[in-house]
Amino acid sequence: MNDTVTRLVETRAAIDRAARDFEREPESVALIAVSKTMPAEVILPVLDAGQRIFGENYVQEAKAKWPALKERFPDAQVHMIGPLQSNKAKEAVELFDAIHSLDRESLAKELAREIGRSGRAPTLFVQVNTGDEPQKGGVSPAAIDAFLETCRVHHGLVIEGLMCIPPAQDPPSPHFALLAKIAARNGLRGLSMGMSADYEAAIQLGATHVRVGSAIFGARG
């Protein structure tokens, strides 16, 4: 096994262990291997090792490498986890199996248009800016309930869950707990939260998807 595959195996084992420690079924936590900036030759061994869900940040980068990879691994899923421009909605709906960064009405409108036009419906997560950080995307916790209603009622979107990226300087658990609380009161099952440094805390608080990059692929240049 190469180093990347070794780290993948170790990460999977840690996720399973954390799930059991918190009295959850390991299968209830999906691992998203964050492959942004990684070339196809680095991703291939991870695919060969059985990993099937990957996260990308940029439409153009994903478009350049994933169609060919999906030809070889048709059951692979690619999730958009970075900010998404409204004018990229068409390409995003065509390319991604899930979008975790829905965070404004203009994007909801464009996604609804493209889903209706193409008949292809990626799984959708709404990003919540749990720390109300001005430099970060996401809906404010104070506005999230109204935004979810707008997505569902006015745009006809099916929302699977919520996503957050806690402020770097804060302990993550209160942010994960807030996200779980918002999801529960809105009848949402999906919780995309937790990254390489804090996914065990996220699993404790109900994460259904954890986004792990550097713990698998190593530090990015």
The pLDDT, as a whole number, for residue 221 is 60
Helix or strand or coil: residue 125?
A: strand
Contact at 8 Å (CB) between 38 and 17? no
Cα separation, 110 vs 149, in Å, equals: 16
CATH number of 3-217: 3.20.20.10
In the prediction, which pLDDT does 150 show? Answer: 98
- pLDDT score recorded for residue 219: 84
Query: Per-residue pLDDT for the chain (221 aa), expressed as one digit of tens each?
Result: 699 999 999 999 999 999 999 999 999 999 999 999 999 999 999 999 999 999 999 999 999 999 999 999 999 999 999 999 999 999 999 999 999 999 999 999 999 999 999 999 999 999 999 999 999 999 999 999 999 999 999 999 999 999 999 999 999 999 999 999 999 999 999 999 999 999 999 999 999 999 999 999 998 76
At 28 the pLDDT is: 98
Query: By the 8 A CB rule, do 180 and 209 touch?
Result: no
Q: What is the pTM of this model?
A: 0.97
